Structure 1
Amino acid sequence: MFSEDKVMDTESKAVMMAWERPLMEAHAKAICSGGGHILNIGFGMGLVDTAIQQYKPLSHTIVEAHPEVYGRMLQNGWGEKENVKIIFGRWQDVLSQLESYDGIFFDTYGEYYEDMREFHQHLPQLLKPEGIYSFFNGLCGGNPFFHVVYCQLVALELDNLGYSTQLIPLPVKDCLGEETWEGVKHKYWQLDTYYLPVCQSIDDSE
């Protein structure tokens, strides 16, 4: 279900919400800092992709698996943008269609931590040596203790793959009034600070 400020699934759980816009703009700025070719996994409301377009990348590849979201993308003209390539399908099923990129963002709905871990295994093939990777850091967004644990765990696992992770704190408390969650069954984010991950090759970050 689509509205101006949120995308919901059939169980009234939010897929993406407008309060995330400043976060998505920050993610886009990070992954587009080197220009070049950009990959986004998961379109949602198009917040991050709209922000990516402002940086005029050489190419902008979007992987989207949800049929309704894909249809809405085409309806809104995303398929007609010169530098945009849309790949319909689950990222696991379209890896052979992907190339190597200067910036990558990962934000899929309905997948689990294990899916993101699996995606990370492909980073050495997908991310250019000097590239920037980021992901929506919503792991345990309702529990500050476990959120920190997950942040450290992801950073450690990425380190084992050869990537450093910088977590940039962004205050979000003012974005999240009670009215934000009206009609939403699950408050997937309840913390005052969002830690935006910026990941790059350890060799390149030194």
Structure 2
Amino acid sequence: MSNEAMQVRALRGRVVTPDHIIDDGAVVLSGSHIAWVGTADQAARAGFGDAVEQAQTAPEGGYLLPGLVDVHCHGGGGESFPNAETAEQAMVSVLEHRRFGTTSLVASCVTAAPDVLRARTRVLAGLCEDGELAGIHFEGPFVSVERCGAQDPTYIIDPDAALTRELIELGGGHVVTMTIAPEKPGITGDDGVNAALIEGGALPSFGHT
């Protein structure tokens, strides 16, 4: 086992648990895993007294809590995932949300031309591989023109299972969901977009319908 994996360190502060807040709590990490959570005065009994004594302490009034999860995010920090032509541009948004506590983020693309969706998928899939993103979400392009909301109707197209499979393949297993309008011909059925998503491990999400 590596030295990094064996490293034990602790954070101390107001710890948020599923059912209450520990005012003087500690979270002990062993490598990349949480080894123990409890009140700071119980740490020695649990075998983590030294780690808690040397713990990094949250700022006054600060909380220790699990990272937030965002499953539909278009960007932040002056950049957006739908417009990100490079990983560096996309990372501006990732880091903007991370500094406010969102540690798992699904990047959402909007309705766009197929070539644009292909290009964005390549960029975002690379960040998923690096562990910076939790997945990719496509909002369109197979949605209703009548219920398009903020989606550009110019790029709304008829459901295309082949394009769906191509995007899933380009995503390298990181496409997690696509927003689709179920009433459009070509969405349902054995050869439809819905089936292509499920076969590719992505969750169909009915919207803009």
**TM-score tier after normalising by the smaller chain length:** 0.3 to 0.5
Q: Which has the higher contact order (CA 8 A, sep 6+)?
A: 1
TM-score normalised to structure 2 length: 0.34
Instruction: Indicate the structure with greater helix content.
Output: 1
